[in-house]
Structure 1
Amino acid sequence: MRCLPPELVTAPSEPCVSIADARAHLRVDSIEEDALITAAIAAAVQHLDGYGGILGRALMKQDWRQFLPFWPASRSVDLALAPVLSVVSVEARGADGQTVTVDPASYRLVGGAGAAPRLLFDLGSHLPGLAYAPDAVIVTFSAGYGEAADKLPPALKSAILLMVGDLYRFRDSVQIGASSAVPMSTTVDRLIAPFRRYQI
């Protein structure tokens, strides 16, 4: 049975980079191009953030649901994003269609602040019977560096601002008179490299 992809429950309440920070980086004083700058910030963040981002990380605090079709034999669940701030709940869907909440005393979060957060179920704990369904187990967790932008690692904030700068300056993928595509900043790759998660 194929696993379902994680699902965003609650989006971040604050942006990674404010419009004021982006204006300062771009040396733009007026608000006339705020719509363009806001779109560039959103595109840069989307490239890095969440399940669809290339980092495999959540940047600002956000809630996600992860689905499992069965209890893992190892009693260990690799969480889809890092860092993980907390596990909100674990729910089990039974064969009768009813959903029950698993006792929080039966599991714990390990390595939440690192690149490989895991949910471990105690060996002696009783886990409810499950329905035959791809969403038989629902793990809801909060991920990200925090609710305030100042919690974001400076390297990631700088990478976002550099991408915003590229998107602002180069409105097309090629320049008139140039024979090749506009190169994006290689500094971005170097800044984000230590934060990329690789699944083995």
Structure 2
Amino acid sequence: MPAVRIEAPAGPVVSVAELREHLRYEPGDNDATLAALEASVVSELEGPGGALGRVILPQRWREEFAEAGLQRLALPDVTEVSLHVIEGATATPVAGPAWGRDARGAWVDLPSLASYQPGARWRVDYLCALPEERLPAARLLVKLRVGALDMQREGVVIGASPLEMPGGASALIRQLRWGRL
């Protein structure tokens, strides 16, 4: 089973008020549009398939495994892990597991499933978030990308693709992108 987000962050990466200030809008101007653009940009950046390959704010994810042993999680920056064994429709919490992070990301070491029913599998729930010292760069990236989309929201662009990132945003993506070795 691919990684699935089970608990969203508590709030936006960048507030509408911060976006208004960044774009020099008056209070109340375009608030709904700015909130939608911020959510769209964050969804484009985050997750295993996002441009960053990681998440920005704290959130919980879930993966399932049918095999024991060392398993790589889809996202880095893990701070907490819980384990359940799934037998049929029942998920039972299990102590552990051994887990950690290294240069290649986060991992769990899952025990054998031999003592469980045939077809049992492991469910791993984990909390992850971008390290605190990298949040300013991520917030700036979201502001730059929202600003670019706001300027191009009607799709009329002369001399550039509407999907191009502004130069500063591309550099921030390269800086923040998680890459497996």
TM class by shorter chain equals: 0.7 to 0.9
**SS of equivalent to 2:142:** helix
* Residue in structure 2 matched with residue 92 of structure 1 by the alignment: 85
The equivalent position to 1:138 in structure 2, one of 123, 141, 147, is 123
More strand by proportion, 1 or 2? 2
After TM superposition, the score normalised by the length of structure 2 is 0.85
C-alpha separation in 2, matches of 1:143 and 1:131: 31
Q: Is the 8 A contact 1:50 1:58 kept in 2?
A: yes
Q: Verify: 1:83 aligned to 2:77, yes or no.
A: yes
**Distance of aligned partners of 1:159 and 1:145 in 2 relative to their CA distance in 1, 3 Å threshold:** same
- Aligned counterparts, 1:1-200, within 5 A: 4-71=1-68, 75-87=69-81, 89-94=82-87, 98-104=90-96, 107-111=97-101, 116-121=105-110, 128-129=115-116, 131-132=118-119, 136-145=121-130, 153-175=135-157, 178=158, 180-182=160-162, 183-199=164-180
Count of matched residue positions in the alignment of Structure 1 and Structure 2: 179
Alignment-mate amino acid for residue 44 of structure 2: H
CA-CA distance at 1:115 after TM superposition: 5.8
Alignment-mate amino acid for residue 92 of structure 2: V
Q: Percent identity?
A: 27
Structure 1 unaligned runs (5+)? none
C-alpha separation in 1, matches of 2:112 and 2:177: 36
CA-CA distance at 1:119 after TM superposition: 1.6
- Could you report, residue by residue, the CA deviation over 1:95-143 in whole angstroms, capped at 9, with x for unpaired residues? x664332222xx322127x66111235xxx665435426xx11000111
Alignment-mate amino acid for residue 132 of structure 1: G
C-alpha separation in 1, matches of 2:133 and 2:119: 41
**Distance of aligned partners of 1:190 and 1:131 in 2 relative to their CA distance in 1, 3 Å threshold:** farther
Structure 2 unaligned runs (5+)? none
Q: Is the 8 A contact 1:70 1:130 kept in 2?
A: no
Q: Is the 8 A contact 2:104 2:180 kept in 1?
A: no
C-alpha separation in 1, matches of 2:165 and 2:71: 37
- Could you report, residue by residue, the CA deviation over 1:58-100 in whole angstroms, capped at 9, with x for unpaired residues? 11111111111221xxx2121111211111x211124x66433
After TM superposition, the score normalised by the length of structure 1 is 0.77
CA-CA distance at 1:159 after TM superposition: 0.7
Q: Is the 8 A contact 1:50 1:56 kept in 2?
A: yes
**SS of equivalent to 2:105:** coil
Q: Is the 8 A contact 2:61 2:125 kept in 1?
A: yes
CA-CA distance at 1:17 after TM superposition: 0.5
**Distance of aligned partners of 1:15 and 1:162 in 2 relative to their CA distance in 1, 3 Å threshold:** same
**SS of equivalent to 2:38:** helix
Alignment-mate amino acid for residue 169 of structure 2: V
